[in-house]
Chains A and B, each alone.
Chain A
Amino acid sequence: MEIIDIRHDGNVTIIEPLKARIDASLAVKFKNDVSQIISENDGRIVLNLSNVDFIDSSGLGAIVSLMKSLGGSGNISICNMKDPVMGVFKLTRMDKIFSIYPNEEAALSHFHN
Chain B
Amino acid sequence: MSKPKTLPPPLLKISISPSLECLGPVGKMTYAIATHHGLSESSASELELAIVEALTNIVKHGQGARFDVEITLKIWLSQEGLTLYLSDSGSKIPEQALSAADGSVFYLADENVMNAPEGGMGLSLIKALVDEWSYTSHDGVNTLRLIKLREPRHAP
Binding site for B on A (CB under 8 A): 21, 23-25, 54, 56-58, 60-62, 64-65, 67-68, 72, 83-84, 87-88, 91-94, 96-98
Contact = CB atoms under 8 A, between A and B. Distances in A.
Given A91-B125, A93-B107, A25 B49 contact: no
Given A23-B52, A54-B48, A87-B46, A60 B24 contact: no
9 contacts: A21-B27, A24-B20, A54-B27, A54-B48, A58-B56, A58-B119, A87-B45, A88-B125, A96-B111
A56 B53 contact: yes
Interface in B120-137: 121-122, 125, 128-129
Contact of A23 (B56, B113, B117, B118): B56
Interface in B6-40: 20-21, 23-24, 27
B122 A57 contact: yes
Overall SS of chain B's interface:
helix
A57 B121 contact: yes
A25 B122 contact: no
B155 interface: no
A68 B114 contact: yes
